[in-house]
Structure 1
Amino acid sequence: MRRVLTASETSLLVEEADLDASMRLHAALVADPLAGVVELVPAARTVLVRFDRTLVDAATLTRQLHAVEPVHGGPEEAGSVRIGVRYDGQDLDDVASLLGITAEQVAARHTAATWQVAFTGYAPGFGYLVGDDPIFDVPRRSSPRTRIPAGSVGLAGTFSGIYPRESPGGWQLIGRTDAAMWDLDRDPPALLVPGTTVHFEQLERESVTVEPSAVSSERSGPAAPAEHEHPFAVEVVRPGLQLVLQDLGRPGHAALGVSASGAADRRALRAANRAVGNAPDAAAFEIAGGGAVLRFTGAAVVAVTGAPAETTIERSDGPELLVEHGAATAVEHGDELWLGPLSTGLRTVLAVRGGLDLPPALGSLSSDTLAGLGPGDLGGRPLRPGDLVPLHGPAAAPYAVDPCPAPAEPLPAAGETVELRIVLGPREDWFTDAGVRTLLEQDWTITPRSDRVGVRLEGAVPLERAVTGELPSEGAVTGAIQVPPDGQPVLFLPDHPLTGGYPIIGAVIDRDLDLAGQLPPGVHIRFRTVASAAEIRGD
């Protein structure tokens, strides 16, 4: 029985009986697209349908989705690959215990089975594999890990999968491989595309050496920029807590398992670009937590917006210059921009007139920290000391500098309470009435275990589940409130996984997403519904 559920203001989740039915529905929606639909995310028994509210309303689209006739679906054959695996995963013994066999038998049956990629999601290069051995049906971990190494081979429900890069996740880990799941220089970039047949081969175990992380440099004062080939550039002297490049993202690539990513505070990005005369969607620097130092090669015009911080320009041959928040400020060759600590908010945006001179990845310069997708050779990683970002130069900006600085948006500090407006769904029925009341009536505190992927929340009373079983993986949107089995929610930010297997109880509305991206640890959140899921669908 088909159901159409509310996933957000601009997304509906169509639920079918099983994987085959969802694949047939997806095939029908691809063959004959509905007006206003901008993206489809197929999953285990659902299809997430994102739509443009200026072209179609949720009630009309709901009726149309109920009327879609499924077609013959399922992925076409896409060749086969063999993947070597060392079966030494952290959860191997637990999985063996759950299945009632030995760890050696888990490895033997995993390699003996024939697997096929049913769909992709979570992150670029992550394929959901279905196998022909019915023994493989294991629950996810009760609380997801914050870091899973690249190449980890896992199990969740009836699926197996391989993490393309280091990321959080809740799958049971049974082994690891050195095979590259995602490579933009490969065609297609994903090793595992829908329809690919996969055979695993057991390799001998070996020790793994972990290299120490790079350490940030100490303050050294203004210095002449390093000699290089770019007449205009920014050199990272100190990145602060996290320094990434962001524009308005890369929507429309769900078929590759790629989420949109993009600036955590879109208003701040647009304001900074407007101040220096760039196009509103031009890429800029996004700095979390303050404390960054950037050195300029060549003259530039900059603007700082978002979370307010005392910002100064240290000149090699002149007095220090204070940078007004939101105002265009001239920078000379060799100058250093110093961003002080933050007292409110979390992320500051620095735009440079003319923009960044880097090759885009799938049409965007955004750094997707979960997917490892970003411009040039950066691969989506945060910037480090010594990194050099080439600029087009101030003459390349298409518009005049805005003479009217944008006032700083009021942002919260740790200990303060903010309200975020949400719509419930798609899985509020997986929670008791008391659990839904707890979501809306209890204050939730942002924990330090938060990043651009998601904000981890903590409340005195966990959300009570009405359904305790496993939820097959399904599409997720920015702003989704996902609830692991421990009952402590995670609020998804722009670098969230494209699909996930924990139930989503609601989603923050679009107008409040920029505020959600500016909430530092220690802030308290109170959720408030603005419309019921049924009202949005016109039920």
Structure 2
Amino acid sequence: MNPRVRWVGERAFLVEFASLDDVLAFQVRVTADPIAQTDQVAAARTVLLTFATARQARRAATRVGEVELTPIPNIDRRTEIIDVIYDGADLVEVASHTGLSEEAVVAAHTTSTWTAAFGGFAPGFAYLVGGDPRLQVSRRESPRTAVPAGSVALAGEFSAVYPRSSPGGWRLIGRTTATMWDIDRSPPALLAPGDLVRFRAVRERITAAAVAGTQVPDARAATTAALRILAPGPMSLVEDLGRPGRAYLGVTASGAADTASARLANRLVGNARAAAVVETLGGLSVRAEINVILALTGADARAELRRALPAESDDDGGPRDELVEPGRTLPRNRVPVRIPAGTPVLLRAGDDLALGFPDTGLRAYIAVRGGIAAPDALGSRARDTLSGIGPDPLRAGEVLEIGSSAVTSVEEPSAEAPLAGGDTAALRVRVGPRDDWFVSDEIAHFFDTVWVVSSETDRVGTRLTPADGTRPLRPRTGDLPSEGTVRGALQVPPSGEPVLFGPDHPVTGGYPVIGVVADADLPLAAQLRPGTRVRFVRS
């Protein structure tokens, strides 16, 4: 067996197969006997393997042909029974499209033994295959803006259950109260690749299970209230280095968008490199409840410190150096002091720190000695804005606690992480995996064009438009089956305007990826603000 290997950046590649059966067999084998991958994502015709280092990826690429593709007998697989009330909004249309009666549609759906082929789209969303071929229907021409959680649906050769309310264009035939995703369950996904599924028609809704995705504070060491949020700004989040290794469940790694700045901030205050920090676009202001050491990195948000004036002074007129009762309101020094980025700063209890909005770059980071002690979700304190996993965005009045992540003395690093300035930013790109969806002239046009970051930018992705009216790209027409993707991928939709995937990108995508930004340039990509000009350089 010599499957085709398509590289996806430096540390990942797609293994491409001729059939879904080969995909499923390969997925089961490499899950049971890994070839050094940190994660794998199966799709309709490919399996994406991701590795910790480029060297591991290169070695593994020579071994994929050795993986056995003998199908796994059903007797060795787990079977899940899901109760369904078949009253979906599209049941009548499905019957019309298939030429079956509504009763026959239900019978075909319930007598089939489905297989969870792969995850994607959202945590807990499993693409089920192996159903009655008469049930193959197209997606809706106009997707719904909100599909209720628990909706049972059909699209193409697949069936699925929506784990949470989300947009979607699948045909809805029923509903279930089965909890497809519960972050407090182990494993959190009800269905894993390779599981068998049988649907059972029921007349009445069974007792509702626990709401999927709820989170409870994790058991952790004692913490201390440290920073009170006075104003959160438009998007201030708790982030760490993310939760890699769960893409097969539909959960992306997430984590700090600019990992270089997050690590630098932690190093400045003596924290472990993976300690949680605050990521902000600016406009954040906090008040110290106790004496804390913090550092700011990333975009220069023009931070200003207003010292609290103690009620009394020493005999020599100097301020008392003592803790202030948490929550106590003290007079503020009317003259703010600018706090430089990249330097540890002591905030005394009662001091206020206010961040403006960066003139250069996009995201600033605040590390506090001890690390932010937010609730743990799947082994990480990172907020995934696409799936809703992790701590909620910061709110006014909330108090952040710190833990015990400090491991070293405070140090001065040698250099700050790079930021995108007013000139054109250059990002190195490795072509592929779907460069064959573009003629050679289009590849050249991609690298010759100066692109502009549009206002459509967030942690999921950044849309790029041609500068000076240059035409967008022209991918070939056709349907590309959804396949696994990575952070830094440049996906090209039919509009021809590339979308640069960020840390909260979807696990799978259905548009061709023309190239992937080099790992070393991802921190710079995370600092691209709307209006920034970008040029790509072939790597």
Q: Indicate how the Cα distance of structure 1 residues 146 and 81 shifts in structure 2: closer, same or farther if over 3 A, else same.
A: closer
Is the 1:95–1:172 contact (alpha carbons within 8 Å) kept by the matching residues of 2? no
> Of 249, 253, 256, which aligns to 1:260?
253
Displacement after TM superposition at 1:61 (Å): 3.0
Q: In the alignment, is residue 387 of structure 1 matched against residue 398 of structure 2?
A: yes
Is the 1:85–1:200 contact (alpha carbons within 8 Å) kept by the matching residues of 2? no
Q: Indicate how the Cα distance of structure 1 residues 187 and 30 shifts in structure 2: closer, same or farther if over 3 A, else same.
A: closer
Q: Secondary structure at the match of 2:446?
A: helix
Q: In the alignment, is residue 441 of structure 1 matched against residue 451 of structure 2?
A: no
Alpha-carbon distance in 2 for matches of 1:270, 1:307: 14
Q: Indicate how the Cα distance of structure 1 residues 481 and 408 shifts in structure 2: closer, same or farther if over 3 A, else same.
A: closer
Aligned to 2:209: none
Matches within 5 A, 1:462-473: 462-469=472-479, 471-473=480-482
Aligned to 2:63: 64
Aligned to 1:273: 266
Displacement after TM superposition at 1:21 (Å): 0.4
Say which is worse superposed, 398-407 or 232-241, in terms of deviation.
Answer: 398-407
Aligned to 1:511: 520
Task: Please tell me the residue identity of whatever aligns with 2:7.
Answer: T
Displacement after TM superposition at 1:278 (Å): 0.8
Alpha-carbon distance in 2 for matches of 1:146, 1:518: 30
Q: Secondary structure at the match of 1:20?
A: helix
Alpha-carbon distance in 2 for matches of 1:327, 1:502: 43
Aligned to 2:295: 303
Q: In the alignment, is residue 317 of structure 1 matched against residue 324 of structure 2?
A: no
Q: Indicate how the Cα distance of structure 1 residues 489 and 82 shifts in structure 2: closer, same or farther if over 3 A, else same.
A: farther
Q: Secondary structure at the match of 1:385?
A: coil
Aligned to 1:326: 342
Displacement after TM superposition at 1:203 (Å): 9.1
Is the 2:223–2:403 contact (alpha carbons within 8 Å) kept by the matching residues of 1? no
> Of 318, 328, 351, which aligns to 1:335?
351
Q: Indicate how the Cα distance of structure 1 residues 245 and 26 shifts in structure 2: closer, same or farther if over 3 A, else same.
A: same
Q: Indicate how the Cα distance of structure 1 residues 480 and 54 shifts in structure 2: closer, same or farther if over 3 A, else same.
A: closer
- Residue by residue over 1:311-333, the C-alpha shift from the partner in whole angstroms, topping out at 9 and shown as x without a partner, is 11233334233211111111122
Which residues of structure 2 form unaligned runs of 5+?
205-221, 309-329
Matches within 5 A, 1:55-134: 55-56=55-56, 58=58, 60-73=59-72, 76-84=77-85, 87-88=88-89, 99=97, 114=112, 115-134=114-133
Alpha-carbon distance in 1 for matches of 2:144, 2:438: 23
Q: Indicate how the Cα distance of structure 1 residues 31 and 515 shifts in structure 2: closer, same or farther if over 3 A, else same.
A: same
Q: Indicate how the Cα distance of structure 1 residues 117 and 408 shifts in structure 2: closer, same or farther if over 3 A, else same.
A: closer
> Of 506, 518, 534, which aligns to 1:497?
506
Task: Please tell me the residue identity of whatever aligns with 1:317.
Answer: P
Q: Indicate how the Cα distance of structure 1 residues 434 and 302 shifts in structure 2: closer, same or farther if over 3 A, else same.
A: same
Aligned to 2:184: 185
Task: Please tell me the residue identity of whatever aligns with 1:308.
Answer: D
Is the 2:98–2:135 contact (alpha carbons within 8 Å) kept by the matching residues of 1? no
Aligned to 2:321: none
Larger radius of gyration: 2
Aligned to 2:496: 487
Aligned to 2:197: 197
Alpha-carbon distance in 1 for matches of 2:174, 2:520: 41
Aligned to 2:17: 16
What is the Cα-based RMSD across aligned positions, in Å? 3.4
- Residue by residue over 1:90-117, the C-alpha shift from the partner in whole angstroms, topping out at 9 and shown as x without a partner, is xx999899x4779979986886674442
Is the 1:38–1:52 contact (alpha carbons within 8 Å) kept by the matching residues of 2? yes
Is the 2:92–2:102 contact (alpha carbons within 8 Å) kept by the matching residues of 1? no
Displacement after TM superposition at 1:466 (Å): 2.8
Alpha-carbon distance in 2 for matches of 1:344, 1:147: 37
Task: Please tell me the residue identity of whatever aligns with 2:445.
Answer: T
Displacement after TM superposition at 1:357 (Å): 2.2
Q: Secondary structure at the match of 1:463?
A: coil
Displacement after TM superposition at 1:504 (Å): 1.8
Aligned to 1:452: 459
Aligned to 2:211: none
- Percent identity among equivalent residues? 42
Alpha-carbon distance in 2 for matches of 1:106, 1:492: 42
Aligned to 2:320: none
Matches within 5 A, 1:1-40: 2-34=3-35, 36-40=36-40
Q: Secondary structure at the match of 2:370?
A: coil
Q: Indicate how the Cα distance of structure 1 residues 70 and 133 shifts in structure 2: closer, same or farther if over 3 A, else same.
A: closer
Displacement after TM superposition at 1:160 (Å): 3.1
Displacement after TM superposition at 1:347 (Å): 0.7
- Residue by residue over 1:463-493, the C-alpha shift from the partner in whole angstroms, topping out at 9 and shown as x without a partner, is 3233512x22221111111222333222111
Aligned to 2:433: 426
Q: Secondary structure at the match of 2:394?
A: coil
- Residue by residue over 1:29-80, the C-alpha shift from the partner in whole angstroms, topping out at 9 and shown as x without a partner, is 234332x43322222221111224365352x433321233323337723321
Q: Indicate how the Cα distance of structure 1 residues 505 and 408 shifts in structure 2: closer, same or farther if over 3 A, else same.
A: closer
Displacement after TM superposition at 1:502 (Å): 2.2
Q: Indicate how the Cα distance of structure 1 residues 14 and 292 shifts in structure 2: closer, same or farther if over 3 A, else same.
A: same
Displacement after TM superposition at 1:420 (Å): 1.4
Q: Secondary structure at the match of 1:521?
A: coil
Displacement after TM superposition at 1:84 (Å): 4.3
Is the 1:418–1:525 contact (alpha carbons within 8 Å) kept by the matching residues of 2? yes
Aligned to 1:224: none
Say which is worse superposed, 144-153 or 438-447, in terms of deviation.
Answer: 144-153
TM-score by length of 2: 0.80
Q: Indicate how the Cα distance of structure 1 residues 511 and 408 shifts in structure 2: closer, same or farther if over 3 A, else same.
A: closer
Q: In the alignment, is residue 249 of structure 1 matched against residue 254 of structure 2?
A: no
Task: Please tell me the residue identity of whatever aligns with 2:476.
Answer: A
Q: In the alignment, is residue 353 of structure 1 matched against residue 376 of structure 2?
A: no
Q: Secondary structure at the match of 1:126?
A: strand
Say which is worse superposed, 100-109 or 267-276, in terms of deviation.
Answer: 100-109
Q: Secondary structure at the match of 2:31?
A: helix
Q: In the alignment, is residue 294 of structure 1 matched against residue 293 of structure 2?
A: no
Matches within 5 A, 1:167-186: 171-172=169-170, 174=172, 180-186=179-185
Q: Indicate how the Cα distance of structure 1 residues 404 and 260 shifts in structure 2: closer, same or farther if over 3 A, else same.
A: closer
Which residues of structure 1 form unaligned runs of 5+?
205-228, 531-539
Say which is worse superposed, 292-301 or 314-323, in terms of deviation.
Answer: 314-323
Q: Indicate how the Cα distance of structure 1 residues 29 and 131 shifts in structure 2: closer, same or farther if over 3 A, else same.
A: closer
